[in-house]
């Protein structure tokens, strides 16, 4: 069936005119209509726009144009501004916001001829690890609809796993691409900070947020990153550096590649999860890679460091949502202060309020040095640990999450327990490093992820290592029952 084909296979059929983009789009829209009610993946569907874009892609193909993404449907996380389409960030605060322009990521993918099927559900303002904080209700994991898909990009991950689209965009602030990718059995790539433009991506934490991609294979992710990556003068955090040919790098042999085992990632890891990582290491050594143990002594500080830095930045960034210019506004305010209080009180959910209050506290006079300044010093030590490790190895490897997907509602009332789900992913964000999660097996019938992290701008090496593993295994080909 068309929905089981990878991007490269679909592109080949489209180029040879064996299928049309309109045919592919209609097929996926039909699946979405049938399967989405059980998953709650979408906030907004755009079928008319999708069919129009598909027809335009078919015209380009008929004229002899080719491209790896031309005519390929996708889903955007609802954090990316999309011209003329609601961009809610999963929040009541922006439930009525129609974006007046396209984010750079959206514009580049549109220019490549992709077809937007709709906007994916997400944790409110990307704050969450389970996709349960959305104003539009929780997303459900297609592997088991009583489980969470992970967050904050849970809608994008679940849609990709359920074969509702070949790929989807996401954002990763503390693991919000890699963690849900692991819990839903897909490939999730977080590029180097600054590799992909943040222009038009609604901000949570400016020094941590990074756009990335969900796909079903590393080769698919490489094709998408090729289009997304590159300098953007409208984004002050964008890096002006050449973009390599990620797809061409996928054939590089792994002989001599040095992979570091992160000692801290294996301490206290559940034995079945550890066994999956050991099995993956056996595959890599069989492919010619070398393994050695490395340590990041300050990595255990990553969770408390992140949950000082990220809330501090969010408290500043979200101050603009005050009910005055756009977004939710309370009814019949008595005065300006009442407008501010009730608009923000009604517009934001509990987790967003919690992080705003935490961030405001750590930035306040008398506490800045005690919390925020110390957190930034710890961040520097974590970054230095990674730099030291990469003097010895090319990549580091470990689990993406400590456990498989947990039950809906199991941790929503215990914020600290929820935050610990990101313990293996946060370090890469604090250091601005690229990371990828790929499926590596199952525990209790639920997928688990293998995480690879590399030095800055090592996406080509990461994707090749992930691709070589997927060539030797078939975990990435498994589909949830009922979604094959």
State mean pLDDT over 227-245.
Answer: 97
Neighbouring residues of 227: CB distance < 8 A, sequence distance ≥ 6: 68, 69, 108, 109, 111, 112
Q: Which of 88, 134, 152, 302 is catalytic?
A: 152
Neighbouring residues of 473: CB distance < 8 A, sequence distance ≥ 6: 283, 440
Verify cis geometry, omega within 30 degrees of 0, for the bond prior to 152: yes
Is residue 268 predicted with pLDDT exceeding 80?
A: no
Is the dihedral angle over the CA atoms 477, 479, 483, 484 positive or is it negative?
positive
Q: Which of 77, 119, 147, 411 is catalytic?
A: 77
Is residue 266 predicted with pLDDT exceeding 90?
A: no
CA–CA dist 230, 340 (Å, integer): 39
State mean pLDDT over 92-97.
Answer: 98
Reported as a pLDDT band with limits 50, 70 and 90, residue 337 is: very high
In this structure, the number of other CB atoms found within 10 A of the CB of residue 255 comes to 9
CA–CA dist 121, 59 (Å, integer): 31
What is the average pLDDT score of the chain?
96
CA–CA dist 357, 314 (Å, integer): 10
| Region at 344 (left for phi over 0; alpha for psi -120 to 50; beta for the rest) | alpha
What is residue 419's predicted lDDT score, i.e. its pLDDT? 85
Is residue 267 predicted with pLDDT exceeding 80?
A: no
Burial pattern 160-199, b for ≥16 Cβ within 10 A else e, equals bbbbbbbbbbbbbbbbbbbbbbbbbbbbbbbbbbbbbbbb
Is residue 161 predicted with pLDDT exceeding 90?
A: yes
CA–CA dist 253, 7 (Å, integer): 23
**51-60: pLDDT as tens digits:** 999 999 999 9
302 counts as catalytic: no
Beta bridge partners of 119: 44, 76
User: Using the 8-state DSSP alphabet, how is residue 229 labeled?
Assistant: B
152 counts as catalytic: yes
316 counts as catalytic: no
From 129, 212, 128, 134, select the one nearest 169 (Cα to Cα): 212
| Region at 275 (left for phi over 0; alpha for psi -120 to 50; beta for the rest) | alpha
Reported as a pLDDT band with limits 50, 70 and 90, residue 189 is: very high
Per-residue H/E/C for 301-319: HHHHHHHHHHHHHHHHHHH
What is residue 144's predicted lDDT score, i.e. its pLDDT? 98
Q: How many CA atoms lie within 13 A of 27 on its CB side?
A: 17
What is residue 421's predicted lDDT score, i.e. its pLDDT? 85
Percent of the chain with pLDDT over 70: 100
Q: Which of 88, 91, 153, 176 is catalytic?
A: 176
With beta carbons less than 8 A apart as the criterion, state whether 123 and 422 touch: no
Percent of the chain with pLDDT over 90: 94
Exposed, middle or buried: residue 463 (CB in 10 Å: 0-12, 13-18, 19+)? buried
Domains of the chain: 2-255+435-477 (3.90.1300.10)
DSSP string, 372-428: IIHHHHHHHHHHHHHHHHHTT-SEEEEES-SSSPPBTTSSTT-HHHHHGGGTTTHHH
With beta carbons less than 8 A apart as the criterion, state whether 342 and 115 touch: no
């Amino acid at each position: 069936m068309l929905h089981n084909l990878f991007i490269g296979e679909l592109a080949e059929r489209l180029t040879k005119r064996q299928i049309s983009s309109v045919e592919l789009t209609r097929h996926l829209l039909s699946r979405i209509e049938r399967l989405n009610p059980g998953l709650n993946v979408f906030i907004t569907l755009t079928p008319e726009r999708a069919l129009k874009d598909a027809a335009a892609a078919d015209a380009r193909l008929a004229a002899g144009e080719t491209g790896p993404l031309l005519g390929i449907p996708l889903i955007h996380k609802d954090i990316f501004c999309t011209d003329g389409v609601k961009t809610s960030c999963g929040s009541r605060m922006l439930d009525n916001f129609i974006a007046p322009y396209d984010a750079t990521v959206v514009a580049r993918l549109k220019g490549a001829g992709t077809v937007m099927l709709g906007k994916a559900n997400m944790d409110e303002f990307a704050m969450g690890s389970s996709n349960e904080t959305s104003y539009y209700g929780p997303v459900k994991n297609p592997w088991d609809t009583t489980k969470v898909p992970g967050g904050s990009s849970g809608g994008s991950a679940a849609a990709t796993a359920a074969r509702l689209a070949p790929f989807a965009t996401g954002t990763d602030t503390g693991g919000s691409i890699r963690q849900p990718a692991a819990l839903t059995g897909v490939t999730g790539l977080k590029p180097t900070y600054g590799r992909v433009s943040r222009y038009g991506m609604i901000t949570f934490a400016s020094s941590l947020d990074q756009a990335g991609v969900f796909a079903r294979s590393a080769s698919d992710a490489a094709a998408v990153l090729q289009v997304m990556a590159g300098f953007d003068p409208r984004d002050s955090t964008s890096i002006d550096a050449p973009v390599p040919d990620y797809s061409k790098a996928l054939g590089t042999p792994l002989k001599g590649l040095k992979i570091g085992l992160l000692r801290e990632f294996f301490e206290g890891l559940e034995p079945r999860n550890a066994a999956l990582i050991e099995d993956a290491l056996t595959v890599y050594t069989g492919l010619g890679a070398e393994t050695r143990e490395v340590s990041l002594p300050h990595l255990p500080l990553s969770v408390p460091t992140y949950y000082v830095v990220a809330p501090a930045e969010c408290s500043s960034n979200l101050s603009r949502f005050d009910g005055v210019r756009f977004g939710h506004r309370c009814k019949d305010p008595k005065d300006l202060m009442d407008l501010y209080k009730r608009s923000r009180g009604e517009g934001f959910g509990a987790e967003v309020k919690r992080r705003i209050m935490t961030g405001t506290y750590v930035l306040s006079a008398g506490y800045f040095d005690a919390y925020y300044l110390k957190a930034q010093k710890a961040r520097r030590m974590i970054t230095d640990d990674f730099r030291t490790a990469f003097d010895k190895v090319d990549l580091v490897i470990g689990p993406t999450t400590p456990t498989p997907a947990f039950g809906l509602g199991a941790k929503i009332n215990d914020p600290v327990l929820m935050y610990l789900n990101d313990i293996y992913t946060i370090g890469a964000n604090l250091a601005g490093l690229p990371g990828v999660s790929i499926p590596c097996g199952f525990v209790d019938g639920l997928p688990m992820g293998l995480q690879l992290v590399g030095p800055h701008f090592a996406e080509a090496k990461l994707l090749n290592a992930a691709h070589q593993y997927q060539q030797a295994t078939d975990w990435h080909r498994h589909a949830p029952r009922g979604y094959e």
